[in-house]
Amino acid sequence: MIKKEMVDYIASNLKRGYSIEALQKYLIKLGYPMQDVEDSSKAAYALLHPQLKPLPKQEVKTKIHFHFTSHQLIAISVVMFVCAGLILYFLLSSYVGGGFQLNLYSSSSKSVYPGEELEFTIDVRGADISKIDFTYMITDSLTQKEVLTTNNALGAEEYQSIIIPKDLSQGTYEIKVKGSKALSSSESSFIFIVNEKEEEIEQADYIEIKEEETEEESECKLCEDENPCTSDECDQSTGFECIHIYLSNCCGNNICEFGEDKTACSIDC
């Protein structure tokens, strides 16, 4: 349907040098019906060029005749048969090889230290895990730089662990496992964190303190005075000093106390 406003708009912009194709695309993009745009474009073009008449559309019918010899027909049949066989082979190989699904899960904490093991579980659906070739890759999640890649080194088992390199710096990393079988493959991944490596000096200080405590404790072992009537105490509460506390009502402290007599404790009475 011809729209007068659209005809005027197209005619004015044609005079300004815009092409009819550009104006049609712009109007269709604005949401105007394609048929209205085409009809209005023809009217605008006719308005600017009244002396020109659009040529009637002519249908051109072309007949194509193919002539093949018997040898050519046989060759074409062979080619089509081979192509059909190849297509069928790839379809069956894909089906028999499995379209399996691989999922990767963290078996423990997703936070490890360099040199520790990162444990994970491989869950395979639709295929025998022992018949799948695996590739293990660790990359920096920010730079996508590979830091470790290994092929089938861990074996095809459900529960796996991989040792994080000792020189790996603190950061966020991604472990990706890809499984391949025949023409099928599947992969899965998860993010984990590598903590900052503990300083060796801190470990040395801990050993030194531990050795000092052990030496003081060894001195307390010499606190026993072999007197049954004393309580020998030596620990952190006494400042690791040996203290002998006399016990009351003890036979052998040279004091005849209540409840003791010559029969019960001849040493003291």
144 and 172 both lie in a single domain: yes
Whole-number pLDDT of residue 57 = 44
Q: Which residues contact 156 (CB under 8 A, 6 or more apart)?
A: 129, 130, 131, 132, 134
Closest C-alpha to 26, from 40, 15, 45: 40
Structurally, the chain folds into a number of domains equal to 4
117 and 183 both lie in a single domain: yes
Q: Which domain range does residue 126 map to?
A: 101-194
Residue 263 forms part of a structural domain: yes
Closest C-alpha to 135, from 98, 165, 160: 160
Report the distance separating Cα 101 and Cα 186, nearest Å: 6
Residue 59 forms part of a structural domain: no
Residue 207 forms part of a structural domain: no
189 and 109 both lie in a single domain: yes
Residue with tokens 């490890």: 112
Position 60 pLDDT exceeds 60: no
Mean pLDDT, range 9-25, rounded to an integer: 86
Residue 221 forms part of a structural domain: yes
Q: Which residues contact 161 (CB under 8 A, 6 or more apart)?
A: 107, 117, 118, 119, 120, 154
Whole-number pLDDT of residue 176 = 93
Report the distance separating Cα 136 and Cα 248, nearest Å: 73
Residue 92 forms part of a structural domain: yes
Summarize pLDDT for 22-50 with one digit per residue, the tens: 888 888 888 889 898 888 888 887 887 77
Domain boundary among 194, 224, 248: 194
139 and 183 both lie in a single domain: yes
Mean pLDDT, range 3-17, rounded to an integer: 86
CATH of the domain at 150: 2.60.40.3880
The answer to whether 268 and 252 have CB atoms below 8 angstroms apart is: yes
Residue 26 forms part of a structural domain: yes
Whole-number pLDDT of residue 241 = 82
- Helices 20-29 and 34-48: angle between axes, nearest 10 degrees: 150
Summarize pLDDT for 88-118 with one digit per residue, the tens: 766 665 444 457 888 988 887 789 999 999 9
91 and 109 both lie in a single domain: no
Residue 64 forms part of a structural domain: no
Q: Considering the entire predicted model, what is its pTM?
A: 0.40
- Which token pair is 137? 């890759």
Separation in Å, CA 92 to CA 74, 100, 126, 131:
27, 15, 16, 18
Residue 136 forms part of a structural domain: yes
- Helices 4-15 and 20-29: angle between axes, nearest 10 degrees: 140
38 and 120 both lie in a single domain: no
Whole-number pLDDT of residue 56 = 44
